[in-house]
Amino acid sequence: MTELVAEKLSVHAGRTPLVTEANFLIGAGEFVALIGPNGAGKTSLLRASLGLERASGGRASVNGDNSAELAPMERARRVAYLPQQRPLAWPNTVRDVVALGRYAYGAAPGRLGNQDADAVDRALMKCGLEELATRQTDTLSGGELARVHFARALASEAGLLVADEPVAALDPRHQFRIMDIIQQYVAAGGGALVVLHDISLAARYASRMIWMKDTCIVSDGPVEDTLTAERMAEVFGVSAKVAGRAVEIEGAV
């Protein structure tokens, strides 16, 4: 079981606050959606909690170990991180890119042991990429490439998945497919912290929502408790009708 904990975690860029005293705990069996407008501090919170961005205060840990002190390969064994920006240094086959998810275990494309190859095959299958496995990544559509990067994260088979807008470039069918995969990952004992901008999609799948506004976490709890018309107005400045997990945005406040 992998736990990701933030305790009064703060991030600054010079004198500008990006994250202010954030507290949360993400554990096994949780599908947590991180919600908030652009500029709220979501990406900085993810990166600082994993030790990938320097914190200016507080502490973040993975299984009790300070995130900032973890060696990159050890961090990658514990947490699969899918960033918002996913550049590829050079074109390669889909299978070889997905195989990079096994790097933390000493594997590399073209040098996979049986266990690594099986993990890559499972990730390709889950993301519906078997028929694209030998294609060069520079021949793919944006949506196809998004699925390749997601499969790369899955191939690590880490205990926790942290993903920054994993469905942003996908059509509705593949958005649901990726969300179903995350849900299955959580049901199998993993934990997931996922940045989402589609509130309806988050409400449908998440077991918990963390809401951010102006660098601060303003709410953290079950969907039914935190998804309200008042919170939609507070965080996003929109008027919305909310009934359980169903939300209908009517317009700006």
Q: Which residues contact 147 (CB under 8 A, 6 or more apart)?
A: 127, 128, 129, 170, 174, 178
Over range 217-237, report the average pLDDT: 96
Band (pLDDT 50/70/90 cuts) for residue 142 is confident
**pTM given for the model:** 0.93
Quick one: DSSP state of residue 245?
T
Neighbours of 25 (CB within 10 A): 14
CA atoms within 13 A on the CB side of 56: 13
Centroid of chain to Cα 11: 19
- C-alpha–C-alpha distance, residues 124 and 128, integer Å: 6
Which one has a higher pLDDT value, 44 or 84?
A: 44
Q: Is a pLDDT exceeding 70 seen at residue 1?
A: yes
The predicted-structure confidence for 98-107, as pLDDT tens digits, reads as follows 999 998 887 6
Over range 210-239, report the average pLDDT: 97
Query: In three state form, how does the secondary structure of 97-150 look?
Result: HHHHHHHHHCCECCECCHHHHHHHHHHHHHCCCHHHCCCEHHHCCHHHHHHHHH
Q: What is the per-residue pLDDT for 108?
A: 67
The predicted-structure confidence for 2-32, as pLDDT tens digits, reads as follows 899 999 999 999 999 999 999 999 999 999 9
The predicted-structure confidence for 87-122, as pLDDT tens digits, reads as follows 776 779 999 999 999 988 876 667 788 899 999 999
